[in-house]
Amino acid sequence: MKLDMEEKRFCYIPPRVNLKRFDYLHYVRKQDEGAYTYVAHADYYILLRACSRVAQVETRCMHIGVLSFERRLAWLEKRIDHCLHLTPPIVSCDYCTDMVPENTTDAETIVEESIGLSNLNI
């Protein structure tokens, strides 16, 4: 396995024992003698090699694509998390408010006012 990894310019990393993060792994590449050397765990390399054979591309090209895809996924997850934790702004539009005038007691008027039917040009 290590020899196959070295032939494809991958550097072997032993498996992780103590997981500190459950996030995406960010593998780096180093330039060595004019060519890039990629660092990867063996289990990731096995999966990467199988996928690259199915896709009929070189393992290094598949690795670059996976790195780019994971970077975009991490960015997308960060943006989604940011949007989910936003607080909505205070409503300033007359048509968007759910407030009912305090002086009304009639049920139909309350429904019409809360929806804003009286302001529509129908």
Report the greatest alpha carbon distance in the chain.
Answer: 83
Confidence of residue 23 (pLDDT cuts 50, 70, 90): low
Give the containing element (helix H, strand E) for 17: none
Q: What is the mean pLDDT of residues 47-59?
A: 89
Burial of residue 51 (number of CB atoms within 10 Å: 0-12, 13-18, 19+): middle
What's the predicted TM-score (pTM) here? 0.55
For the cut 60, the answer to whether the pLDDT of residue 108 exceeds it is no
Q: With a cut of 60, say whether residue 45 has pLDDT above it.
A: yes
| Ranges of each domain in the chain | 2-84, 88-122
Give the tens place of pLDDT for each residue, 55-84.
999 888 888 888 888 889 889 999 998 888
Give the rounded percent of residues in the chain with a pLDDT score beyond 90: 5
